[in-house]
Chain A
Amino acid sequence: MNFFRLVADLMHLASIFILLLKIQKTRSCAGISFKTQLLYAIVFVTRYLDLFTTWISLYNTIMKIFFIASSVYILYLMKYKFRATYDPILDTFRIEFLLAGSLVLALIFNYDFVPMEILWSFSIFLESVAILPQLFMLSRTGEAETITTHYIFALGGYRALYLCNWLWRYIFDGHVDVYAWVAGIVQTALYSDFFYIYYTKVLHGKKFELP
């Protein structure tokens, strides 16, 4: 564990709490893409299958269980409790392509051609593009509640800090994980426009609006 990874994980954790806070405080999931949330639930379930096979640490286990449980809980909130506040008309990104593309990539790029490894690769590739329906929704509405932008920022920042973590681990441990690196770079790059507007608008006390 190094500083970057710890802060990254805490940001990831924070992003989920911010999202839950947004939904509970405003009693609405307006502005949140159900499709992105669905993709994250798939990402966590397919990646953390090793909960049943490998013990890493208490920290690792608790975080994995939390990520799976919270993602399913958010789906429940959006699909049932606050269903009336969700606008499917704005959430029209075609996730079939993301799922199919990630699966094809996982079948080609994996550390071993066995179901667990293929699903792990699939989750890495799917995570890198899972934010797209949310960003697409943002571009359709052209604006967002400030708390929603904090959520997206924390979620994007987590993977950006993982890039620092991977550089650290490569230098000090010789740790190499090419698939995660490439996917992490793509994931962070997808946020770059968002980061720019977040920095120039939200952090200067203005509303998040697309130019």
Chain B
Amino acid sequence: KKKEHKKDEL
């Protein structure tokens, strides 16, 4: 199962 992973950092 894929993990929810938001990339909003630099």
Contact = CB atoms under 8 A, between A and B. Distances in A.
Interface of A: 5, 9, 12, 50, 54, 56-57, 60, 63-64, 67, 111-112, 120, 162, 165, 177, 180
A137 B3 CA distance: 39
Nearest to A179: B5
**Is the contact region of chain A dominated by helix, strand, or loop, or is it mixed?**
helix
Given A177-B5, A180-B9, 7 more contacts: A54-B7, A56-B7, A56-B8, A63-B10, A67-B10, A111-B5, A162-B9
Contacts, number: 22
Given A111-B2, A112-B2, A50 B10 contact: no
A60 B6 CA distance: 13
B10 A64 contact: yes
A56 B2 CA distance: 21
A12 B10 contact: yes
Contacts of B7: 50, 54, 56, 120
A4 to B, nearest CB: 11
